[in-house]
Amino acid sequence: MVASARNGQPSEIDQPTDEPRNAQAVMTQTDPFDFVIVGATGDLTMRKLLPAFYQRFRLGQAPEGTQIIGVARSKLSSEEYRERGAKALKEFVPSDSYDAAQAEAFMELVQYASLDAADKDADWSTLKSLLDGHEDRPRVFYIATAPNLYVSTAAAFADKELISPHTRIVLEKPIGVDLASAEEINTGVGKYFSEEQIFRIDHYLGKTTVQNVLALRFANPMLERSWNSGTILSVQITAAETVGVGARGPYYDTSGALRDMVQNHLLQVLSLVAMEPPASLTAADLRDEKLKVLRALKPMSPEVVAKDTVRAQYVAGEIGGEAVDGYLTDLGDDKSTTETFLAIRTEVRTPRWFGVPFYLRTGKRLAEKATEIVITFRPQPWPIFQDAPQPGRLVLRVQPHEGVSLTLSSKDPSKDEFRLREATLDVSYPEQFHTRYPDSYEELLMDAVQGDPVLFIRRDEVQASWRWVEPILAGWKEDARALETYKAGTWGPDSSKDLLARDGSKWLEDF
């Protein structure tokens, strides 16, 4: 019953925990579980979720008796769904970790139920029969549908008495399109699931290289003691894509780059970069510190929006020697004013970061695919070398070339006179650790099974990020900052460079 699900206590191994995070404990799963994917015929499931579970299966973390249950409205048998899933594994699992026999064994864990999960009056018999008798083991409902179906789907689970004390619900982003709709979703789902049972997923937090921000800062005293406005000149966070909107066009046009990337992904990365040292690695302590950063962001008044934001839309251009269409052609709508690129200058109003600009940038059809954090250090106040290069930089590469590099000044050995040039200390994580870097969904899926909320977003974080983003949306709606265009295959409009030039800075590719 719903009441018992809200008030009952999960078992010791299953209860969401606030103990310090232990990587070995989190990544080890020995007991069977049920994982229900609602929207299981969609692109996310085939490209990401099934391949992620396959990788966990190879590591022994999806034992015999586990059920991966796909739920969607398509009229398919379990066997027909397994055939689709097997093709997806062959296509999307990297060749160096794909094994046909293992893929076949994994697909034996997969079941399917044809069902509109948002409809309480639909035929739920297949799903209920698959879950019957499993009330005492972990059960996860992963909702990979449109956000407007989250509440009705949660209500249907409650109506069919499928919510046990061991049940979690995972909500894909976006959580709403503004603060009001986000609160409507959170309140609606919260009628049936406690906050401890709600896991709001942001796959950026599942990226090992994003998590490594914490390790670099807090496990290396040299860096942490320099991690402040006395040493750091600026911080830039970029998430650049070469692809266009593709099949996501109808969704993307209602979202745009600000809602799609900044409100969740980039603000989460910023909060990890700027947070104070947490008291511990518990979910509560980590998320408390992230929340403080989100609440300390400089408010975006109409005047600030006009001065410190850039929004633009790609037009036809060339990427990798191939001509590509503009956004309006891709979308099939010549009236859209949705931004596919943005750059924002902001500040974190805390003593640690006084006067340090933070630059956020994201876009489609840019010159390169790259997600990176660039820390630029302050120059010497009284330089003794007149020909010194630009100030040193620490670059944390999230993707595609996961690693970290530090750019320093060094004597140029090719010159007889004492002249300087840049030298880079570079570490490639895959080469350094000789291991496969897991997809971000792999750890997140297993964390949901284990009930570990550290890498998921708390309700008040969602509220804080929307409160900061909404004034930007409102300012753009009133044309406080006009929509510009940029050619596909470039780094966006020149005005994004001007945003940094005011502070005497540059984007990484311009150094």
The answer to whether the CB of 393 falls within 8 A of the CB of 379 is no
Whether residue 260 is annotated as binding a ligand: the answer is yes
Please choose, from the candidates 321, 297, 359, 399, the residue with its C-alpha nearest in 3D space to the C-alpha of residue 492: 359
Decide: 98 and 88 in contact? Cβ < 8 Å: no
Phi and psi (nearest 5°) for 353? -115, 20
DSSP string, 344-389: EEEEB-SGGGTT-EEEEEEESSBSS-EEEEEEEEPPPSS-S-TT--
Catalytic residue among 134, 265, 401, 434: 265
Specify whether the CB–CB gap between 493 and 361 falls below 8 A.
no
Residue 369, annotated ligand binder? yes
Sequence-distant (6+) residues with CB within 8 A of 428 are: 401, 402, 403
128 is in an annotated binding site: no
Is 48 assigned to a binding site? Answer: no
Q: Sign of torsion, CA 21 350 371 213?
A: negative
Of residues 107, 106, 110, the one with CA closest to residue 59: 106
Question: Of 133, 147, 192, which is closest to residue 38 (Cα–Cα)?
Answer: 147
Q: Phi first, then psi: what are they for 250, rounded to 5°?
A: -60, -40
Q: Is 207 annotated as a binding residue?
A: yes
Rg of the Cα atoms in the chain: 24
Give the C-alpha separation, 112 to 36, whole Å.
9
Q: Does the annotation place 19 within a ligand binding site?
A: no
203 carries a ligand binding annotation:
yes
Q: Active site includes 401?
A: no
For residue 404, the cross-strand partners are 396, 427
Say if residue 506 carries a ligand binding annotation: no
Catalytic residues: 265
Residues making up the binding site for substrate: 203, 207, 241, 260, 364, 369
Residues making up the binding site: 73, 173, 203, 207, 241, 260, 364, 369
Residues making up the binding site for NADP(+): 73, 173
